[in-house]
Structure 1
Amino acid sequence: MIRLQALLFLTCLISLVLIPAPAIAAILGIDFGQSTTKAALVAPGVSFEIVLTRDSKRKDVSGVAFNGEERLYGSAAAGIAPRAPTTAFLHFKSLLGRSVSSLEAETYMAQHPGVDLTPSGNRSTVSFKTPDSSFPIEEILGMSISHLKTLGEEMLPKSSATSRIYDVAITVPPYFDSVQRKAIIDAAEIAGVRVTALVHDGVATAINYASSRSFNQEKQYHFILDMGAGSTSATLVSFQEIQEGGSRFGKSSLNITIEGVGFDQDLGGDLLDQRIYEVLLARFTAAHGDGILSSPRSLVRLHKEAERVKTILSANTEVISSMESLYDDIDFRTIVSRAEFEDAIQDVLPRVAKPFEDALQAANLDILDIKSVILMGGTTRVPIFQQVLVKDVLKGDATKVSRSVNADEAAVMGATFRGVSVSKQFKTKEISVLDPSIWEYDVVVSGSDGTFTGAQTLFPKGSPVIGNRSLVELQIPEDLDEATLEFREDGRQLYTYGLHSIQESKKKILDANNCSDLILVIDAELTVSRVFDVHGVLWQCNVTAPAVSDAKDDAETEDFKQKVFNFFKGEKSSSPEASTSTSETTTATEEPAEEQTESETTTASTSTTSKRPQATVPPAKPRLVKQPVKYNVRYNGARNMGRATKASSKARLRAFDKLDSDRHARDAVRNDVESYSYRIREWIGYENRRLMEHSSEEERQTFLRKAEAALEWLYDEGESMILDKLEEKMKELKEFENIIFKREMEKLASIEAELRASASAAAAEESAEVNGEEELVIPADGPEEGAAEASVSTGATTTTLAETFEESSTADAEPGETELPQHDEL
């Protein structure tokens, strides 16, 4: 026992000395929007950089499409949607945490013809059905996050110790409930990353706005209007500088407080696109009948055209819409004016002011207290909405409209900053964010017979979202053995706990412990991402019991600790015999404390290091004991993924990643085989000098036949060949080049040997002449000049012989002949 304790202590001590500080990891911020998605990266050597797409765009379409086994992302997925609408899943953010029968699913089906939604097992959530399989919505989102993670990792410096991304911060609308938020967290877990924080869109923009500005100790109130593709939110935020420790040498920090939030979940760019789509569809059916309604491809094209028309009308008063072979080889052409568009959305315009009114009411403020309205989201560019904002919200004061942030990138930058702050892996500007809960979380309790026994608030509206986890006492009748707990978020039912054998669990804790203050509690949590969760129901009480200590073990352990401490200080410890003798002598001559003189007391205290500690019994300390209560969970609506479902999705995602990796490797080798075969044809066709010097005509013709055969094989079978076969073909083509290279090296070595022999013979002859007739004269540049000249000569020859095939082919070409492009040498 003593040796084990000693070993553990020494191990811990050495670990503290030797273990290096953990490497700083990279953090990826993701602005996951209904229409487009952006990402930003922070890592050692990378400071808040936008993650670019494969085609160097700073944002991309939100979506995934399948082309056989190949996955397409962003604009590539949107491009394939008109041709394969059943396998292209775009703009699906509103479906997270919702069922197939929900209003959100109905709206989505109307806006995305051809997509087949199906229930996701028994979870009452959405899956996307393809001809071959079905994919839960969390899995589709996980693929998108994984793709962004890959793009971000490609940006990491090669010299950095950080090569992977493990942490992400993702934006969410303020109205997303716990089920929707958990769906995003599940998707991130499937993608192999951890969510450090889900950041409210308005909070992200506020952080970005404040990060480059200074404020004073007086509160400034600003509205952040975020009108995106799917929804509209108005976030009332205050900025205030807080000075700690005096104005001269104190530390200052910026406080950002969310004072109120209002939102409209359906008011966004998609709704405007739908109105233009209805106008275009009505005109086509009026002229050509309603047969187009049976063609998902044609309807998808019409939706895409409606989005284009809306964008152009933001800057022009009219736009020409023209589509060739829209349906049944019918070309469609019409003109849409801004006035017609505004007439089609007249019923939508009054809804713009409602989010502002709700936020002001929550904060008990007036619009006159607001300094500015910061515009975010693409829909704020629609002229009619800006007019309504000034007229109905700002009472005609257009000076309060602020366009001082990048409407496309402010949210992703702020979310990334928030992720960095929460993770505490980087030093950032001191910004404190207070984002209180906009909803109340409570529980309704009823007995086994369904009789209502009471309702309790677990987290009231306005609770600070800082990772709260607490044990809330549950008020139920003392003799109740069965109970139903219905947990609610803003009055909406989340799930129900059915408690069983309450009295049995109570008896267990009472029999095993001498309890005081026995209570039944709910273990509830409201995370920093504003996810509400319940970890169980349990009995708990305080127990007072003295701790038992083995004096001998304690003494020997303390002795060992002292020796280790002395060892690291560089001091020598006394021998065991001397220590024991001293200890025994001290113990024998020790007198009661009350009879010792002052000097004796000092002497006794000085010698305590050589004494063995005496057996002591620490005072009794209360400890908390808990006894869980048996329960079963019943979900009232959509349910998040379980461990088995997530494991299955992870495995399928890794399988798709492997297919992508193999396909990219095959494509790379296939391209190498093709380009190399064409180069062989060029080298032989233009009689490359190096090739002609080191090969025979028969060898060149054999080489050419192999290249021609490789091209023919590539077009006939190469598309379906596995990687090993392609690499084998490339190796076969390279064999002849290796022979040519070997012959060239042999010739170079022979020339170099001849030059060395000639130089040696010349030096010997000159030395003989000087010794026989003339005085030896050393050149001004030193005796090495001759060797240097020989070396330079050899190097020049080597350089000439090492010219590329392309250079010699160009040199041998006739005057006026077009130069061939440069190629890699064989």
Structure 2
Amino acid sequence: MPRLHIFLFALLALALAPSAVLCAVLGIDFGQSSTKAALVSPGVPFEIVLTRDSKRKDVSGLAFKGDERLYGGSAAAIAPRVPATSFLNFKPLLGKSVDSDEAELYLSRHPGSTLIPAGNRSTVSFKTPDSSFPIEELLGMSFSHIKKLAEEMLPKDSATNSVYETSVTVPPYFTTVQRRAIIDAAEIGGLKVVSLVSDGVATAINYASSRTFTSEKQYHFIFDVGAGSTSATLVSFQEGKASGSMFGKSALNITVEGVGYDTALGGDLLDDRVYQLLLSKFVEAHGSGIESNPRALIRLRKEAERAKTILSANTEVRVSAESLYDDIDFRTILTRAEFEAAIEDLLPRIRKPFEAALAKAGADILDVNSVIIMGGSSRVPVFQQVLVKDVLKGDASKVSKNVNADEAAVLGATFRGVSVSKQFKTKDINIIEPVEDEFALTVKDAQGSVIGAQSLYPSGTIVSKNRTQTRLEIPEDANEAVLEFTEGSTTLFKYSLNDIQKSKETILAANNCSELYPVIESELSVSRTFDVHAVAWFCNVTIPTAEGDEGPESDDLKHKLLNFFNKSSKSEDSSSTTADASSSETATETSAEEAETSSSTATTSSKKPKPTLPPKPRTTKQPIKYKVTYLGPRNLGRATKTTSQSRLRAFDRLDSDRQAKETARNSLEAYAYRIREWIEYENVRFMEHSNEEERQAFLAMAMATLDWLYEEGESTVLETLKTRLDQLKQFENVVIAREKAKLSSLEEMLRPKTSSAEEEEAFTILPIDKDNLSASTTVMEEATASATDAEETPVETESGPEEHDEL
């Protein structure tokens, strides 16, 4: 059938056609204390994005120095001097309110910071002396900075010159509100999040990408001790069939069997204990006045972080802080024994995430092949001792350190982003990740009494990107109702339904409904974000099929497509298909014959009757009016997001102008120093083509420019810097012009005099004699040799002494 052939050809062409433009994909491992990024693009296969200082990771956060933004390590360096405009390690504040425990803990660790509510969203904004910044906007600035660093890595001849898609790591316990905060921040920073990846899943992807597995399940723990939390993710690796594969192609299945976590146990908590040790030693020796000085406390906390890191490899560390407070130099020695005694009460908490994950999976630690160590704080010796003794029952051989603890997560997140975006061909890896908490709703009447409860996505539901439809159970005669949506024990928002009966009457008046019921359309995305798209009446309408509808032909097309791809039951399907096709062709031919000879009784009587077709079902829907109320922190609205994007672009313009000004200032300063060097060291060109008075005037101008740069150069505008540079270049331009004029004069004097006929012959372009090409080449070589000899052998002339001296 021609139409079937055309359809199949188009289907295969779409399947085999390559993407028109391959885009870059950016993976970001957004941690509480440090952030890493990796890039994949045409010509850049999984490269770590380096900082301005060529480091492979940077401090999470930024700081303002006036209207200048500093990122990462540069921000951390000035934080003790400008604590009110330094925003570091704020990841725990995403999706939290200012009166939350996380906000209180943050303020205790970052004295000098001020948190205020972000409008009516019940989330956090940072207050500065002259402005305020929603936390999503600050994170968006950091993402935008990483995006620029990644775009600078793109080859000049690359198929793309920008980065748009990104995949970001998140802790497994992050809620929908926290995950959406990251998505909003990425959008402000000019990025589209294709996937949010749990830290443990990202590491598992990286671990599996370079290894092979069999059909027998292997169980591995990802033990991640980060700056803010500790998690234990039990994953299984098993080779299986690729989803949607028509030819039995295999793929690796990574299944999250169970997850356990401690949201407070991490490197920052260990830093707190070291910080308290150092603070108590200072107070004991010099009094408690330091406790009211935010700058001194921030410096002492930085020393505590450094001391904890050193104690992971040494038994003691010397702490030294010059003029820490009130011109007091603080020096002390901290031992590993003191540190371990200070964190002794935290050690039993290490095994609890493992126990929770094993309980959810119904597994035993003996079934686990290895424990993959991740996170900077996992290097603390006493942590590893507890892991072997209390978790692995003394079996140290299961502790695996064969992944890059710093970069495995970012590379896995990048791989996941590439897989989801389908920009490049990758190893087939299926991620099977169930949700931790149940997404449900409670139905209340207008007076607030509970009249029902429903589960939308039970705990253990596998995440997908498909919308689902759930029948809403409300009284048939209800005109108002309240739907409260929850994630675990947290209420996200509520929908107040109004005029339910009016919307019901509207759809009944327009349709003959055989079945009518209210429905909630919702979605649980691959990033584990929950959305409600609609609340509406669904009406099932049965419409009889018209006589002219091509029902049999349509069924025949579907039947043939199934045969084409599945190749099963060939004999049965082909016989029924042939019969249906014959019947369809006969009906078509008879209809055409009837149209041409409608007056012929014999032809009309020979027509075959058309088969009676079953009725076609159709579903229509009528939205129910509702009002959304958020009962806790909520995400950015469109207007707020637009405002943040505009402010970010304004800061970008300031950065661009500042960079151009700095470049012009450096060029002017370098050129002034170069002039001084030329004149003081008697550069040959300048000595030959200028006099002493000109050189001294030029040197005075250069020195005056340097003095002006140090006094006023910082505050001047870009155009003034460019004008100054042009003024300095005038003298060099004069010297160059004089040099060129003298060279031209010498060339004119050395040029042999020829007659006009000879000049014409010299400048006539002769055609190439292809038959005598070798002879022409020989003549050319002889001419070249003669010219060379003429240059090497001085020519004797009859010119007098005056002419010779002038030359």
> Which residue number corresponds to residue 384 of structure 1?
382
**Distance 1:454-1:89 versus aligned 2 partners, 3 A rule:** same
Asked if residue 742 in structure 1 is aligned to residue 737 in structure 2, the reply is yes
Task: Give me the whole-angstrom Cα distance separating, in 2, the residues matched to 1:479 and 1:779.
Answer: 105
> Which residue number corresponds to residue 32 of structure 1?
30
Indicate which of 165, 170, 173 corresponds to 1:172: 170
**Distance 1:796-1:331 versus aligned 2 partners, 3 A rule:** farther
Asked if residue 316 in structure 1 is aligned to residue 314 in structure 2, the reply is yes
Asked whether the 8 Å contact 2:221–2:233 carries over to 1, the reply is yes
> Which residue number corresponds to residue 79 of structure 1?
77
**Distance 1:319-1:121 versus aligned 2 partners, 3 A rule:** same
**Distance 1:215-1:784 versus aligned 2 partners, 3 A rule:** closer
CA shift, 1:740, in A, is 2.7
> Which residue number corresponds to residue 142 of structure 1?
140
CA shift, 1:737, in A, is 2.5
1:668-710 deviations in Å (ceiling 9; x for gaps): 0100011111111111222222223333444434433332332
> Which residue number corresponds to residue 456 of structure 1?
454
Asked if residue 707 in structure 1 is aligned to residue 702 in structure 2, the reply is yes
> Which residue number corresponds to residue 270 of structure 2?
272
CA shift, 1:20, in A, is 9.6
Indicate which of 747, 751, 771 corresponds to 1:752: 747
Task: Give me the whole-angstrom Cα distance separating, in 2, the residues matched to 1:212 and 1:364.
Answer: 28
CA shift, 1:758, in A, is 5.8
Asked whether the 8 Å contact 1:186–1:646 carries over to 2, the reply is yes
**Distance 1:532-1:794 versus aligned 2 partners, 3 A rule:** farther
CA shift, 1:274, in A, is 0.1
Asked if residue 679 in structure 1 is aligned to residue 677 in structure 2, the reply is no
SS at match of 2:441: strand
Indicate which of 126, 129, 147 corresponds to 1:128: 126
Indicate which of 636, 652, 672 corresponds to 2:647: 652
CA RMSD of aligned residues (A): 3.2
**Distance 1:527-1:244 versus aligned 2 partners, 3 A rule:** closer
Aligned length: 721
Give 1:452-601 correspondences, 5 Å limit: 452-545=450-543, 588=596, 595=603
1:276-296 deviations in Å (ceiling 9; x for gaps): 111111111112111001100
1:578-620 deviations in Å (ceiling 9; x for gaps): xxxxx9999655787974999x99xxxxxxxxxxxxxx99996
Task: Give me the whole-angstrom Cα distance separating, in 2, the residues matched to 1:229 and 1:162.
Answer: 36
Farther-moved stretch of structure 1 (709-718 vs 118-127): 709-718
Task: Give me the whole-angstrom Cα distance separating, in 2, the residues matched to 1:83 and 1:448.
Answer: 55
> Which residue number corresponds to residue 612 of structure 1?
none
Asked whether the 8 Å contact 1:755–1:794 carries over to 2, the reply is no
> Which residue number corresponds to residue 86 of structure 2?
88
Q: Which letter maps to 1:507? A: E
1:253-275 deviations in Å (ceiling 9; x for gaps): 11110000000000000000001
Task: Give me the whole-angstrom Cα distance separating, in 1, the residues matched to 2:300 and 2:264.
Answer: 21
SS at match of 1:347: helix
> Which residue number corresponds to residue 103 of structure 1?
101
Asked whether the 8 Å contact 2:252–2:429 carries over to 1, the reply is yes
Asked whether the 8 Å contact 1:128–1:136 carries over to 2, the reply is yes
Asked whether the 8 Å contact 2:594–2:604 carries over to 1, the reply is no
SS at match of 1:82: coil
Task: Give me the whole-angstrom Cα distance separating, in 1, the residues matched to 2:793 and 2:264.
Answer: 75
Task: Give me the whole-angstrom Cα distance separating, in 1, the residues matched to 2:362 and 2:592.
Answer: 78
Q: Which letter maps to 1:730? A: L
Asked whether the 8 Å contact 1:221–1:238 carries over to 2, the reply is yes
Asked whether the 8 Å contact 1:26–1:41 carries over to 2, the reply is yes
Q: Which letter maps to 2:20? A: P
1:165-196 deviations in Å (ceiling 9; x for gaps): 00000000000000000000000000011000
Asked whether the 8 Å contact 2:97–2:103 carries over to 1, the reply is yes
1:57-98 deviations in Å (ceiling 9; x for gaps): 101111111111111111111111111111111111111000
CA shift, 1:757, in A, is 1.7
CA shift, 1:791, in A, is 7.3
> Which residue number corresponds to residue 157 of structure 1?
155
**Distance 1:740-1:794 versus aligned 2 partners, 3 A rule:** farther
Asked if residue 414 in structure 1 is aligned to residue 409 in structure 2, the reply is no
Asked whether the 8 Å contact 1:548–1:617 carries over to 2, the reply is no
**Distance 1:758-1:204 versus aligned 2 partners, 3 A rule:** same
Indicate which of 404, 428, 436 corresponds to 1:430: 428
> Which residue number corresponds to residue 304 of structure 1?
302
> Which residue number corresponds to residue 553 of structure 2?
none
Q: Which letter maps to 1:463? A: T
Task: Give me the whole-angstrom Cα distance separating, in 1, the residues matched to 2:747 and 2:708.
Answer: 43
1:425-461 deviations in Å (ceiling 9; x for gaps): 1001111111111111000000001121110000111
Task: Give me the whole-angstrom Cα distance separating, in 1, the residues matched to 2:713 and 2:192.
Answer: 40
Task: Give me the whole-angstrom Cα distance separating, in 2, the residues matched to 1:589 and 1:519.
Answer: 51
Unaligned ranges ≥5, structure 1: 1-11, 552-582, 602-615, 765-777, 798-826
Task: Give me the whole-angstrom Cα distance separating, in 1, the residues matched to 2:501 and 2:126.
Answer: 46
SS at match of 2:751: helix
CA shift, 1:520, in A, is 0.6
Q: Which letter maps to 2:160? A: T
> Which residue number corresponds to residue 632 of structure 1?
627
Asked whether the 8 Å contact 1:52–1:58 carries over to 2, the reply is yes
Indicate which of 194, 197, 217 corresponds to 2:195: 197
Q: Which letter maps to 2:643? A: S
Task: Give me the whole-angstrom Cα distance separating, in 2, the residues matched to 1:585 and 1:108.
Answer: 85
> Which residue number corresponds to residue 363 of structure 2?
365
> Which residue number corresponds to residue 565 of structure 1?
none
> Which residue number corresponds to residue 641 of structure 1?
636
Indicate which of 779, 782, 806 corresponds to 2:779: 782
TM-score normalised by structure 1 residue count? 0.82
Task: Give me the whole-angstrom Cα distance separating, in 2, the residues matched to 1:735 and 1:358.
Answer: 76
Indicate which of 684, 690, 693 corresponds to 1:695: 690
> Which residue number corresponds to residue 212 of structure 2?
214
> Which residue number corresponds to residue 68 of structure 2?
70
1:635-662 deviations in Å (ceiling 9; x for gaps): 1111111011101110110011111111
Asked whether the 8 Å contact 1:755–1:790 carries over to 2, the reply is no
Asked whether the 8 Å contact 1:542–1:624 carries over to 2, the reply is yes
> Which residue number corresponds to residue 564 of structure 1?
none
Task: Give me the whole-angstrom Cα distance separating, in 2, the residues matched to 1:790 and 1:681.
Answer: 42
> Which residue number corresponds to residue 767 of structure 1?
none
SS at match of 1:371: strand
Asked if residue 733 in structure 1 is aligned to residue 731 in structure 2, the reply is no
1:753-793 deviations in Å (ceiling 9; x for gaps): 333326999x99xxxxxxxxxxxxx9996366345654797
Asked if residue 399 in structure 1 is aligned to residue 394 in structure 2, the reply is no
> Which residue number corresponds to residue 52 of structure 1?
50
1:542-585 deviations in Å (ceiling 9; x for gaps): 2345799999xxxxxxxxxxxxxxxxxxxxxxxxxxxxxxx999
CA shift, 1:744, in A, is 2.5
Asked whether the 8 Å contact 1:543–1:623 carries over to 2, the reply is yes
Farther-moved stretch of structure 1 (328-337 vs 157-166): 328-337
CA shift, 1:511, in A, is 1.3
Q: Which letter maps to 2:210? A: S
Indicate which of 95, 117, 120 corresponds to 1:119: 117
> Which residue number corresponds to residue 330 of structure 1?
328
Unaligned ranges ≥5, structure 2: 1-9, 550-590, 760-774, 795-807
Asked whether the 8 Å contact 2:594–2:603 carries over to 1, the reply is no
CA shift, 1:391, in A, is 1.1
CA shift, 1:626, in A, is 1.5
> Which residue number corresponds to residue 665 of structure 1?
660
1:487-539 deviations in Å (ceiling 9; x for gaps): 00012111111111111111111112222221111111111100011123111
Task: Give me the whole-angstrom Cα distance separating, in 2, the residues matched to 1:740 and 1:687.
Answer: 14
